Structure 1
Amino acid sequence: MKLKRTMAILMAGVTCAGALAGCGGSGSKDTGSAASNSGGLTELTFVMASRDEFMSSIEEAMVAEAEPLGYKIVSQDAQNDSSKQIQYIETAVNGGAEAVICLPVDADGTQSLIDAVGEKNLVFVNRPPTNYSELAADNVTYVGSNEDTSGYYQGEYLANYFKQKGQKEVKYLMIQGTLGQVSTTKRSEGVIKALKDNGINPVEASAPVVADYDRPTAQEMIQPLLTSGKEFDCIIANNDAMALGAIEACKDAGVEINFPIVGIDCTADGAKAVQDGDMAMTVFQNPVGQGKGAVIAADNMINGKKLGTGMEELGALDTSGKDYSDSIFWIPFEPVTKDNVADYM
């Protein structure tokens, strides 16, 4: 795995919220020691929303980072059930856990997860609370990537591509993830904003299709549009899986891929599609950085250290300015094209 997969946590901001205990350099509290299992390692529970390739990559990074710090990762799959997620957190806390790492099922319902952890510590990873003010609590933090930039990278690539072709208006097909999720909203908005910012007029060739980040669903839903006679210049997908579904739909329908298809996440299959020329570009979301950062944050909270301790060793410190900056740790997205995809394989 290349160096870029293990680097670059950017910690947001210079502005501290008054209610945040991290201001003034005291970003966490002393919680004492957690109970250890029979192997001598302290159990650290990771409650994921549901398992997929990306979640497994985050989990692997957590396991690799945890053991040298004295932890054993215990993973729980909530299978997109918010009530199960609450139960898993309560079980971990009742079992003596001092910290829980959680990728929430519902970004709008994260307060219930904070309530479930009580006075113990909670690290949100990958998917932040919709209401960032929830991160003002001194026992809650977030490690993930700033979705304001992910779709924007797609739009910048497409704008440059079509400018070189002399086009000022672009008709697009968009495949969206799960409606209501922060990632879906921001990725969809970001690509359109970037096109407009770069002088391109984006026009819907058809209403967006919603494929819930699922490859077979995207393949099934996009195929009728490919054969409907609608004219389009590109296909924009909120993640690689759906972009790959679109590629398969094109091949099944006998449609030549002579237009850009773009994704996000830079999964192994996505990177190969870029290398093969089927996908024009993707945007690398760093699961290793997120997994490592989540474990470091949990360890800092458990041991009463400042939340940012060790984070700067994984990358540059961002001073762009965000609310609750001492409780938000950004892992940067990175654009990936055929020119640099080898660095991500």
Structure 2
Amino acid sequence: MKKLLGIAVGTAMLLGTTAHSMAADTMALVVSTLNNPFFVTLKDGAEAKAEEMGYELLVLDSQNDPAKELSNVEDVLNKDIKVLLINPTDSDAVSSSIRAANRKDIPVVTLDRGASRGDVVSHVASDNVLGGEMAGKLIIDTLGGEGKVVELEGVPGTSAARDRGEGFNKAVGASEGIEVVASQPADFDRTKGLNVMENILQAQPEVDAVFAHNDEMALGAIKAVQASGRDIVVVGFDGTSDGVAAVEDGSMLATVAQQAGMIGAIGVMTADKIINGESVESYTPVPLKLVTK
């Protein structure tokens, strides 16, 4: 009897587990690119929190292509998802994807980058304007209030590039001794950061500091600076593992650290509240911190 009872209990537990997994609600996370350490960390944070909370999370990579992004969104909208979490490739282009979700009454939560149009229930991101200001003020202090500065911009049209640039230019614009001698996009990409910085260094005989809108571009810029043999400080943004390592070895002055994993986790927690009919904030700021040696 004890043996039979044990089998019955074990079977019941197995069936219960299966029923629970089948009943688990599904969320989708569409990421701009997984060819960037920051967004990989964001994805990892979302996956860990979803598993902890008992949700299934579908993850799709848009490969920095708005057309691929729309295709990914259309794909997940044909599945039984409760919430769409999306990290846009472009704040304008993502509107088509968000409107597709709106038509199917699927709530949308944007992560890291916002959307220009479409109905979004909540946006989870760092205060990028404040982060840009932090970078600008550090450069001003490091240069003693005088010097020539380069700005490497992210992907044009993204809220992150716009906001980080706004904060940075607000800070340096308030300092009469700081001049921005070049401001060019390098699309958040390390190789483009290297190439753009090489061209700027050839055109600009005097450069004292560089602010890059993310660590990937900053790391590319550092290679160009090192090859030139010039003494130029570089500040990045995101606080990726490579960026922090560059700060620690002295090749980068600082990085404004976003907590990518926390953005992903808070996104899932926000989606959970939406699924359970709870009210959520339209914007949830995630703390930033300045990482220096």
- Category of TM-score, reference length = shorter chain: 0.7 to 0.9
2:76 aligned partner, one-letter code: A
CA distance in 2 between counterparts of 1:295 and 1:233 reads: 42
Tell me, yes or no, if structure 1 residue 336 matches structure 2 residue 268: no
Q: Does 1:173 align with 2:150?
A: yes
Give the drift of 1:153.
0.6
State the 1:48 CA deviation: 1.0
Aligned position for 1:124: 110
Q: Say if 2:191 is the partner of 1:204.
A: no
> Could you say which residue in structure 1 is the equivalent of 2:171?
194
Query: Is there any run of 5+ residues in structure 2 with no aligned partner, and where?
Result: 1-18
1:105 aligns with 2:78: no
Partner of 2:74: 90
Deviation of 1:47 (Å): 0.7
1:276-296 alpha-carbon deviations (Å, 9 max, x no partner): 111111100111210111000
- Report the secondary structure of 1:46's partner residue: strand
Letter in structure 1 aligned against 2:106: K
Question: 1:310-340: CA deviations, max 9, x gaps?
Answer: xxxxxxxxxxxxxxxx3111112221111xx
CA distance 1:37–1:128, change in 2 (3 Å) = farther
Cα distance in structure 2, aligned partners of 1:154 and 1:222: 18
Query: Is 1:264 equivalent to 2:219 in the alignment?
Result: no
Secondary structure of the residue aligned to 1:279 is coil
Decide whether aligned partners of structure 1 residues 134 and 73 sit closer, same or farther in structure 2, where only a CA change above 3 A counts: closer
Q: How do 1:18-167 and structure 2 match up within 5 A?
A: 41-51=24-34, 52-117=36-101, 118-130=104-116, 134-135=119-120, 140-163=121-144
CA–CA distance in structure 1, aligned partners of residues 195 and 49 of structure 2: 39
Q: Percent identity?
A: 30
Counterpart contact for 2:257–2:290, Cα < 8 Å: yes
Q: Which structure carries more relative contact order (alpha carbon 8 Å, separation 6+)?
A: 1
Distance 1:333 1:64, change over 3 A: same
Residue identity opposite 1:48 in structure 2:
V
Amino acid at match of 1:86: L
- Which residue of 2 is the match for residue 31 of structure 1? none
Q: CA deviation at 1:234?
A: 1.0
Partner of 2:267: 294
Contact (CA 8 Å) 1:188, 1:238: kept in 2 or not?
yes
The correspondence of residues 275-314 of structure 1 with structure 2, limited to 5 A, is 275-307=248-280
**C-alpha deviations, 1:31-85, integer Å up to 9, x for none?**
xxxxx99666433211112212111101111111111211122111122333332
Indicate if the aligned counterparts of 1:209 and 1:222 stay in contact, CA closer than 8 A: no
The unaligned stretches of length 5 or more in structure 1 are 1-35, 308-325, 339-345
Which residue is equivalent to 1:241? 216
Higher helix share: 2
> Partners of 2:68 and 2:142 in 1: how far apart?
45
Structure of larger gyration radius: 2
**TM-score with structure 1 length normalisation?**
0.73
Pairwise CA RMSD of aligned residues?
2.1
- Decide whether aligned partners of structure 1 residues 114 and 225 sit closer, same or farther in structure 2, where only a CA change above 3 A counts: closer
Counterpart position of 1:343: none
Question: Which of the two has greater strand per residue?
Answer: 2
Instruction: After superposing the two structures, state which structure 1 stretch, 105-114 or 152-161, moved more.
Output: 105-114
CA distance in structure 2 between the partners assigned to 1:83 and 1:176 by the alignment: 23
2: CA distance, partners of 1:153 / 1:263? 11
